[in-house]
Each structure stands twice: as structure tokens, then as C-alpha cells.
A and B are shown apart, each in its own frame.
Chain A
Amino acid sequence: KQEVTQIPAALSVPEGENLVLNCSFTDSAIYNLQWFRQDPGKGLTSLLLIQSSQREQTSGRLNASLDKSSGRSTLYIAASQPGDSATYLCAVAGNFGNEKLTFGTGTRLTIIP
């Protein structure tokens, strides 16, 4: 059974710093990995999706990497801003397609102005 872990559960950093969020998974046979953002009381917003054949994806100040063999992904946020404060969730899709995701419990990020 796939298990996804995100450490730390919470992180506070001063505005302007670069930071890295970590995600690890136990079964390397994945279809893709997706990073989401969730604001309090809201739904999930997709940030980046990495296919199993890819090593990284970038969108603006965000960069996500994937190392399937070691079961790890990182989300790098450059020049953090207070608006980046949210919970960040990592989810992996099993090897047969994208209809089922296994989620980590998330990292709650606070950017201190």
C-alpha cells in the first residue's frame, strides 16, 4: 500500500527566504506526482504536476523535483511572500493511471512579514 509522508508538518520562515518542502513515498511505481495548495477552509489548487518520466517542473517561483528511485519529491519556493502562507499537499497517482491519488498530510507553511 502506498504511503506518502510530508515533513515537517509545519514550517515558519521570514519573508524573502527560499524554502524547500519535502514529500516521500514508499512505492516508486507511480504514474505522476502532484503538488497542491490549500488555503484554510478552501479547496485544493493544483500547483505542479510531474509525470513519472520527468525529473522536474517549474512554474514561476515554484520548482518541483521528482526522484522516483528514492521515492522523493521536493517543492522549492523562491523568494517567499506572505501570500504563500497555506498548507501544501503532495499526492501520488498509482502506476495504472490518475483516477486514484494517495495524499500526504501536508506541510502548513507560514511566511512571516
Chain B
Amino acid sequence: NAGVTQTPKFQVLKTGQSMTLQCAQDMNHEYMSWYRQDPGMGLRLIHYSVGAGITDQGEVPNGYNVSRSTTEDFPLRLLSAAPSQTSVYFCASSYWNEQFFGPGTRLTVL
């Protein structure tokens, strides 16, 4: 199993550009989620999904969209990037218990 995979590993955007961060898991987990990690603030939940077709907002959802068309994939979309979205983004998946995290995407918005 590859576990949780994320692409790209690094990305630089200009303010106003859009992009999609990809996340995939091959463990047949129902739950998937996106977190951002900023210095001194820990990881904060952006959006999460409890199954295909079901998504909900986390603590910091503004500026991000998600969709879950399959169990395996949970992409995170930035519609109009802002410097405040410079961060490291982690995708995670779980079934009932332990959460498994991807390696992260480091995003810089200029």
C-alpha cells in the first residue's frame, strides 16, 4: 500500500492564481481531511469528508473548496490564492481510529 499520497510536494503561486492540491489514499478509508500547519499554531482542520459525496467545513475553511467524488481522492482547491494561504498542507485518512497523514505540500503564495 502507498498509504496517503499528496502532490505536488512544493508549489509557488502568485496572488490570485488558482490551483488544486491532490490527495489520494489506497486504504479504503471512509474519512479524509485536510489540515494546514503554520508556525506556532499547530495543525488546523480546513475541510473533512466522512465518505464519498459528503464534505463539511473545519476550523479554517475560507478560501478553500473540496469535493469527494470517490473514496480514494480528496482534492483541495484554492480558487484565488492569497499570501495568508502560505503554509504546509497535510491530507489525512482514517477509518474509525488511527489517522494516517500524507507527506505534505509546502505552498508559498507571493
Contacts and interface: CB of A to CB of B under 8 A. Distances in A.
B98 A46 contact: yes
B102 to A, nearest CB: 6
What's the interface size class on A, roughly?
20 to 34
B94 A99 contact: yes
B33 interface: yes
Contacts of B41: 105
Contacts of B92: 44, 101
B58 interface: yes
Interface of B: 31, 33, 35, 40-45, 48-50, 58, 90, 92, 94, 96-104
Interface of A: 4, 32, 34, 36, 42-46, 49, 51, 89, 91, 97-106
A107 to B, nearest CB: 11
A42 B100 CA distance: 13
Contacts of A45: 101
B52 to A, nearest CB: 14
21 contacts: A42-B104, A44-B92, A45-B101, A46-B98, A49-B98, A97-B31, A97-B50, A97-B96, A98-B31, A98-B94, A98-B97, A98-B99, A99-B49, A99-B50, A99-B94, A101-B92, A101-B99, A103-B35, A103-B43, A103-B44, A105-B42
